[in-house]
Structure 1
Amino acid sequence: MRFDFFRRSAAEETQATEVSKDRMVSRNADGYVAYTLLLDPQKRVAGYKLAWCAAARPEEAPDAISQFKSLVACVTEHLNPPETPWRLGHSELFFDVNAEVLALGVLQSLPPEYTVLCLELGDLANEELRPVLLFLREQGFSFMLCRAPALPEDPELLGMVTHFDVDAGDPLLVAAVRGKEQPDHMPIQPIATRMASWKDFEACAARRIDMFADAGCGLPPPAASTGSRTLQPESMLIMRLLQMIQRNEDLREIEAALKRDAALTYRLLRHMNSPAVGAGVEIHSLHHAVTMLGYSPLFRWLSLLLATSNPTGSPPFMMKKAILRGRFVELMGETLLPRGESDNLFVVGMFSLIDQLLGIPMQEVLNKVQLPDSVQQAILTRGGVYGPFLSLAEACELNTGDAARLAEALLLSADQVNAAHLSALAWSQDVTPTEAAY
């Protein structure tokens, strides 16, 4: 649906469409998509705040308006293409906006019901901008009021606010937000936006507040253990199966080992037949899977199950992060490495977080699963043929500013990296702990 506020003549519309098509790739080549995870109190991913990291040096970077256009164009192309369902399910996307951005009308290509626009009180209260804001709200866009000392008193402004920035979980702000709940208005959702450590997250979780997880805080501390750190029985079985595949043992022996756990067999077959895997045929048995597709896909799928085999000790967002990273690394290397290497790339990306997922040291994991030397080198040192792809994925995740340099070394364009990143983000929605559950 096109906004009435930004309606153009037919000639202008045609010209704009052609220019948009011609510039889509070049715009996306100017920078890299970065995101911050929005976590709910159970450490599940509830949404993503997207930003654009310009590839050029700060003094040469495009202006903020051009960068925002690039971000929206990239998200639209890969997550909300025409005549295709929204690829992130129920996850919300958050964008920082201001009066200049809102007046452009570039938001029309995003799904309103899953888009939250983050703006400050000055823009929300801008009388000239109010018709645009009311129209956007009517279309289904949400508004998050940021860096405000309190909610607005004006009933019309208050009615537009759906989310409110409560800083690091300020109890007074949280109480004020929850005290404004009205019967005829959806509750305003408090969002903590400043996280100095994981202690901040736990404090917010105790008050049922979602929080943007600052990547600078690193990974969360491992869950407390009541005894020595040992693998779950299912994890041990999966590791044994991985070793058997690495040694190319007889398929009948692998099947016999797998059949000792009917639930694991069921989960594996569910994964093989899931939309995310997309094998193209229905897989009925382990023998069928290996006959049709070979040992490498089976190793990859077992690795995927290993990532979700310790649900009590690993937060859900970490499982998604590992799966997403594996797919991201895999997609970046597909066009550059020989056919058949993609499964190794997926394992490199996912296993780079496997110690956090299983709660045991990385070296102990690698001692139990004898991965190829090139895979181990990438995981331990970011070296070898696979290591640079993993380093680039981490740079994009952490928004370190190194993405352009690392991508250039791999002869990857920013557009290729963004396509891989957002495609992996969408793919990971179908491969979740819930999908793996039985």
Structure 2
Amino acid sequence: MIEDNFILREPLLDPKQRVIGFQFSWLQKDPNAETSLENLNHLLEFVAGHLNDDDKGFLLGDSLLFLEAAPELLQAEGLSLFPPKNTVLILHKKYFANEATLEAVKKLRTLGFGICLRGAEITTLERSFFAYVSHIEVKLNASNFASQAKVYASLKQSAVKMVARNVATWQDFDACSALGLDSFVGKLHLTPRPSSAPKALNSSQTTILQLMEMVRKNADVQQLELVVKRDPTLAYKLLRYINSAGFGLRTEVQSLKHAVQMLGYSPLYRWLTVLLATASSSGYSPVLLETAIVRGRFAEVLGQMKMSKAEAENLFVAGMFSLLDRLLGLPMQEVLSSIQLPDVVTDALISRGGIYGPYLALAEASELNSTLVGSLAESVKISAEDVNAAHLASLVWAKNVASAA
């Protein structure tokens, strides 16, 4: 049942570090509990219910979903709720020895679902598997890279796509990209690329920080507009975010003054935080930005269950700022010295302490494939079902916002 499982995710990246989907796995509260076909159906129905809309269809657009699968899941009726072209089931090589599993794989492939082969030795892979799979999971072996390169080159000529897991360094990422690997799963995106460029705030970031401080002090909107006019592109980008589907406004916001009239100052502050993250002149990883937006929204939605609206909005800022040092290429202390934040937000950022810390840590753990998710959810007294609903809703919300970047 969904109340006994937490959804964990890892981003799926293309060679340009763009998010092209997510890999979902299930963390059971009781690791020794057996998962029945009925429970798997409940899980699939829950996820599909949050990612589909009767009018809009699949709410993650063209994103791929990689789902860790056992043979039982292949028979689950809940799979029919997922768009086949967006869904890839990860299945270990050992299961292909079972005739019933192989027949289920054939049927799903006929319907358009993808199958990702896990656990195969890339250098000794039986080519007969290629008739049943759309993807193959590969692991980089630095000590045997030359021979692997030849195999990757031959695989590139086939219809099977290669997915790299646990690529440890950006040098390995670039090497795999050059060899033709199609996508990457892991946490490398949380490690910024090394850069020799001097680390300092640019003029746009300085302007945004000034605006954030003015908003915090409820400065007159005419004063805000005077500052925004120094950089017209900032006003354009800010209005794009505010008008994104992520905010759900029925009336298009035409100006900064209009935004303040409709939303007030607190929501404006959050969008300036997003704008600050995208204003890097040295370039930022698209996946890092999307991760920050998901983390901020996830923490905010969790907070809405227990806190006031204003406090929950502070959690969004905390989530965004938790990755801002990596997005800007600056130490966290330097980022925090640039703007005045409430002490409770600073406590959450520095030590995951204070009243906001556990909510931020919970959102963070769900993207790190961490076994701490259950204990963190228990510490803030939020059920697994509510955590999972907040997680999926945040992915949809962030997808809309990121498309406005």
Which residue, out of 99, 119, 142, partners 2:91? 119
Query: Shift of the alpha carbon at 1:352?
Result: 0.8
Contact 2:152/2:180 (8 A) holds in 1? no
Aligned to 1:221: 192
Aligned to 2:145: none
Structure 1 unpaired stretches of 5+: 1-26, 182-186
SS in 2 for 1:384: coil
Q: 1:376 to 1:50 in 2, by over 3 A?
A: same
> 1:307-344: CA deviations, max 9, x gaps?
11126432111000001100000011112101322221
Distance in 2 (alpha carbons) for counterparts of 1:34 and 1:349: 17
Q: 1:128 to 1:404 in 2, by over 3 A?
A: closer
Aligned to 1:206: 178
Distance in 2 (alpha carbons) for counterparts of 1:67 and 1:220: 36
Aligned to 2:25: 51
Bigger Cα displacement from structure 2, 70-79 vs 119-128: 119-128
SS in 2 for 1:280: coil
Which residue, out of 52, 55, 74, partners 2:46? 74
Which residue, out of 310, 335, 338, partners 2:305? 335
Aligned to 1:88: 60
* TM-score (normalised: structure 1): 0.84
Q: 1:49 to 1:256 in 2, by over 3 A?
A: same
Query: Shift of the alpha carbon at 1:102?
Result: 1.6
> 1:259-283: CA deviations, max 9, x gaps?
1111111111111111112122211
Contact 1:327/1:349 (8 A) holds in 2? yes
SS in 2 for 1:340: helix
Letter in 2 for 1:404: G
Bigger Cα displacement from structure 2, 122-131 vs 354-363: 122-131
Q: 1:232 to 1:192 in 2, by over 3 A?
A: same
Bigger Cα displacement from structure 2, 322-331 vs 277-286: 277-286
Aligned to 2:219: 249
> 1:345-384: CA deviations, max 9, x gaps?
1101111111000111112111211111221121112122
Distance in 1 (alpha carbons) for counterparts of 2:60 and 2:185: 19
Aligned to 1:38: 12
Bigger Cα displacement from structure 2, 231-240 vs 161-170: 161-170
SS in 2 for 1:277: coil
Aligned to 1:159: 131
SS in 2 for 1:430: helix
1:173 correspondence with 2:173: no
Distance in 2 (alpha carbons) for counterparts of 1:337 and 1:89: 32
Aligned to 2:404: 435
Which structure 2 residues correspond to residues 29-428 of structure 1 after superposition, within 5 A?
29-56=3-30, 58-59=31-32, 61-63=33-35, 65=37, 68-82=40-54, 84-124=56-96, 126-149=98-121, 150=124, 152-154=126-128, 158-168=130-140, 170-179=148-157, 181=158, 187-215=159-187, 219-226=190-197, 228-310=198-280, 312-428=282-398
Distance in 2 (alpha carbons) for counterparts of 1:151 and 1:110: 30
Letter in 2 for 1:289: A
Query: Shift of the alpha carbon at 1:249?
Result: 1.9
CA RMSD of aligned residues (A): 2.2
Q: 1:55 to 1:125 in 2, by over 3 A?
A: closer
Contact 1:300/1:343 (8 A) holds in 2? yes
